[in-house]
Structure 1
Amino acid sequence: MKFNAPRGTNDILPPETLKWQYIEKKTHELFSNYNYQEIRTPIFEYTELFQRGIGEVTDIVEKEMYTFEDKGNRSITLRPEGTASVIRSFLENKIYGQAQPTKYYYIGPMFRYERPQSGRFRQFHQLGVEAIASNDPALDAEIISLGIRLLQNFGLDNLEVHLNSVGCKDCRPDYVEKLKKYLIENKDQLCDNCKSRIERNPLRVLDCKNKSCKTVINDAPKITNNLCDNCAEHFEDVQNYLDVLDLEYIINPLLVRGLDYYTNTAFEIKDNALGAQDTVFGGGRYNGLAEEIGNRDLPGIGFALGIERLLLSLEAKGIELPVESGVDLYITVIGEKAKIESFKLLDKLRNEGFRTEMDYLDRGVGSQMKSADRMNAEYTIIIGEDELNNNSATIRNMKSGDEKEIQLSNLLEEMKKLVDKEAV
């Protein structure tokens, strides 16, 4: 019987995993500079958390969640996004009693039953940030700039920041009624999916990519013209702080996010090199989320970035991450005695931080050298009975072909010189 990975999932194999490690390392470093600390939440939660947090009439909850009953007949869902879990943890662990705001970041797998396509999988990986318990518009600008800075660290540029305000619970209901009235008047021009959304979730119509729908949407009432005074002032302040940072942005009054918990600021960072799926990451404020799932009025803002989507963007622009696979030294052994002594040398070199390898298949010298080449070994050395008796061997630079006679007892010191010399 042949087994394959489930549709919409991928094995991430070496050397590709080195790229993931590099991204994660750079993320840890940068987010720490902004005083964001890592949080790790469970991969599954009680289903109601996502129903209440994300919204029961969203595509994610209605169509895309992996939900099942556990052995205690409790409804469990693999997390489709990270924010609801972070807020649940914040409330459950009473972090609101500590100095605020709280700044978290996370990296991990998410799960959505979607149609697999380029950059979109059923198990995918996100890194994200959440800043909780402050409504300061400066924090909105900080979050956006942090995401941009992360992408710039990987070599991405020419990115577009799309910015909008989706209002609050005071002004959005009036806007939704205006939008609903307009959509009903133009219902005949909408796709079937959008027709069904008019009553359930009319804001989602604004996100439709259907050509006929986009024609209708372009003339729809704009939420930016229907904001209350508080929302309008907050939106203007966010723009002012972005101006302070010299961050260019495009006001996009049709921008909505796919989750019901968003309020006020909403944003997306787009990369035109990706084609139709051009959003690299997005986020916004969710000032009502903590109240919805925990009856505590706490503002928050964050973003999530798909690692698969990031790698696609890097590939589209021909950007190679500075990662190297291979070993510093491959020891080719001849005979059992040489293997034992080489095993000792391996251990000593590894303890000093060198990436080293030797043969474990009892192959001939030629096959071992081919293996060293496949492993991208920087140096190779052949150790047999003669080399042991003479306490000397020839170490070879695999790139240049240069060779050097060394004392085996000085191998560690010689490797330190060679690797340092190459690094300079």
Structure 2
Amino acid sequence: MNHITEAEAIVLIDPAAGNKGDTATGKKYLVPFILVVSLFFLWGMAHNLDSILIPHLKKACNLNNRESTLIDTSVFLAYFLMAIPAGMILKKWGYKSTMITGLLAFAFGAFLFVPAANNLSYLTFLTALFIIGCGLTLLETSANPYAAILGSPDKAAWRLNLAATFNGLAAPLATIVGRFILSGKSHTQDELAAMTDTVRNNYFLTEAATVKTPYIILGTVLVSVALLFYFMKLPEVKTISKDGISKGSFLGALKHKHLRWAVIAQFFYVGAQVCVTSFFIRAAQQAGGFDEYTALYYLGLYGTLFLVGRFVGTLLLRYISSNKLLAIYAVISALLSIVAIFGDGAYVVYALGGLGFFMSIMFPTIFALGIDGIGDDTKPGSSWLIMSIVGGAILPYAMGTLIDFNGDNIQIGYSIPLVCYLIILYFGLKGYKIAHK
């Protein structure tokens, strides 16, 4: 993927040598690639913790389903609003500085969880999550194309899936952190109404306070990683056209038909993934009859299958073209969604867990197919693909609304991911094709 045409070349500038290094096939860029992979893990941790925050803050702040999905909206709206600025920052500052800035913004948002919990302010939580989303946008806008370009062009999809495997590693580990966030306690609205104001407020404050330590630790780790990036010498990637000038433009990137379809597919993929995980715990409680900790265990199983799927998918991509594997996985995901909607008992939870495996390769594969062969438009094209992550802000809210309108029926909400997988299927079959002039 990401072929280099005769009109352009991808060159890596080695700051240690003070001159132009190898082309994108150089093996000496292994260490920079490993450092970038660590970013995939960190933003994976952020997103997987959101799946735990939704049911947790729903209790702590006494929210309905729609209100609880504003957690997703805050994070993914930031992707939409920050995508263009992130692309401009990346173009002006380069990959290293953009990644450091993203890490620091991410850390600042994490530290804001402390005053949010102390004041039991849902608005402050949402503000912190929006700032985190801005940081994640900077990280993904820079790290995804950096991982794709930092090596042989025909292995870009494989390399992105390998890096994304460590993003998947965060899923099961986040459920371990979730044991320190979730209390296992919950009360019905009638039980809350029967409490005195003092008892009820203390319950809410106690629930909210459990997020403080995990997010303080996360913020500290992020600052440490930012310092590591600052002191490490990383090669900068530059796309140079044959006349020596990079001609990529934000709007001009959309002239590539396959990129436009990739943006659409990514919108629905991210929306589907966030929908599945945001309501996973509540679906396991309602349809499977599990308690909160058992539901969390199955969310961890989902994360483990997501991680295994990344490894298996990375191996399969050596033998199956990325668009075909994407289409196959989209069909299976659609079938599992049908089980989640119409199934009963533990089978619903098993189907949702299976989605972790088959969604695992979708984001990096769509990303790699989208920037395949767009040359100078790689950076602005990456911004479009990151902007499409706004699907994670819109579709979960739609799912929460559908659930509320159907008497808190979580299962019917999975109709929305089902539609998403059908759109991804089309992209894997036809939308990915490059329109040659």
TM tier, shorter chain?
Answer: under 0.3
Q: Which has the higher strand share?
A: 1
Q: Which protein has the larger Cα radius of gyration, Structure 1 or Structure 2?
A: 1
Q: Which has the higher helix share?
A: 2
